[in-house]
């Protein structure tokens, strides 16, 4: 199983655009992909640990290692493809 860490902030416009897309994909990819949301304002330490410079940033983890990083908003189909490449 792969994990997608979604680094976001409540005040971030592109993050708000991505939120329903992430929620949809969480349901569609249930059992294949685990999603974790990290509010960069509330958990600055984790954002620093992953070197997050802008939001939204989606870090894809496979076998405990970062295999990809998506920065910025994407359409649902493109975002899904970028994740599924690692399944």
**pTM of the entire predicted model:** 0.96
Would you state the pLDDT for residue 15? 98
- Whether residue 15 lies in the annotated active site: yes
pLDDT at 33: 98
Is residue 45 a contact partner of residue 14, using CB atoms and an 8 Å limit?
A: no
What does the block give as tokens for 50? Answer: 């992953």
Closest among 38, 33, 31 to 85, alpha carbons compared: 33
The pLDDT of residue 69 is: 98
Full pLDDT tens readout for the chain, 87 residues: 999 999 999 999 999 999 999 999 999 999 999 999 999 999 999 999 999 999 999 999 999 999 999 999 999 999 999 999 999
**Catalytic pick among 2, 5, 15, 18:** 15
pLDDT for position 4: 98
Active site residue 79: no
- Marked catalytic residue, from 2, 4, 5, 12: 12
Q: Which domains does the chain have, with CATH numbers?
A: 2-84 (3.40.30.10)
């Amino acid at each position: 199983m792969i994990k997608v860490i979604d680094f976001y902030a409540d005040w971030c416009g592109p993050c708000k655009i991505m939120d329903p897309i992430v929620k949809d994909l969480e349901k569609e990819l249930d059992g294949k992909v685990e999603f974790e949301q990290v509010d960069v304002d509330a958990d600055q330490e984790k954002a620093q640990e992953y070197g997050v410079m802008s939001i939204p940033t989606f870090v894809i983890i496979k076998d405990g290692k970062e295999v990809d990083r998506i920065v910025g908003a994407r359409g649902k189909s493109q975002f899904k493809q970028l994740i599924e490449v690692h399944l």
